[in-house]
C-alpha cells in the first residue's frame, strides 16, 4: 500500500498567516492527490483534487501543488474558520490511502 506522510503533524498559527503543509507519497502517484478539510465534529470536505484543482466554491486562498511523490497545500491568508485538520489522500491506486493529517491550531 502507498503510505502518505504528512508534515507537520500540527501547526500553531495566527489569523492572516500563510500556512504551508506537506504530503509525501511512498511511491509515485502522479497528480492523483486530493486534499480534505475536517472541522471538529464534521465530515471531511473536499478542497483540492488532482493535486492543484480547487473544487467548486472553495476560496482561492487554498492552493495545492506537486506531482510524483511530493505535494504541498497552502492557505495564503489564514482565517479563523480554517481551523481544522487537513488530510491528503492518494487515489492513484487501490487501496486509496490518507495521510494522518495536519492540525491547525491558534497560537
Residue ranges binding other proteins (CB under 8 A): 1, 32, 34, 36, 43-46, 49-50, 55, 87, 89, 91, 94-101
Residue placing its CB nearer to other proteins in the complex, 37 or 69:
37
Residue placing its CB nearer to other proteins in the complex, 17 or 54:
54
State the Cα–Cα distance between residues 88 and 4, nearest whole angstrom: 7
**Least distance (Å) from other proteins to the CB of residue 30?**
12
Residue placing its CB nearer to other proteins in the complex, 16 or 41:
41
Place of cell 486562498: 61
**Least distance (Å) from other proteins to the CB of residue 61?**
20
CA dihedral 67, 33, 58, 73 (to 10 degrees): -60
**Least distance (Å) from other proteins to the CB of residue 15?**
25
State the Cα–Cα distance between residues 107 and 65, nearest whole angstrom: 26
Closest CA to 90 of 107, 76, 74, 70: 70
Closest CA to 79 of 23, 19, 37: 19
Residue placing its CB nearer to other proteins in the complex, 60 or 94:
94
**Least distance (Å) from other proteins to the CB of residue 16?**
28
Amino acid at each position: 500500500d502507498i503510505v502518505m506522510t504528512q508534515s507537520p503533524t500540527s501547526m500553531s498559527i495566527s489569523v492572516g498567516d500563510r500556512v504551508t503543509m506537506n504530503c509525501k507519497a511512498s511511491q509515485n502517484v502522479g497528480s492523483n492527490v486530493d486534499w480534505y478539510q475536517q472541522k471538529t465534529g464534521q465530515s471531511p470536505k473536499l478542497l483540492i483534487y488532482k493535486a492543484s484543482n480547487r473544487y467548486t466554491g472553495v476560496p482561492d486562498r487554498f492552493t495545492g501543488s506537486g506531482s510524483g511523490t511530493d505535494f504541498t497545500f497552502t492557505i495564503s491568508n489564514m482565517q479563523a474558520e480554517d481551523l481544522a485538520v487537513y488530510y491528503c489522500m492518494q487515489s492513484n491506486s487501490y487501496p486509496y490511502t490518507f495521510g494522518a493529517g495536519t492540525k491547525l491550531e491558534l497560537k
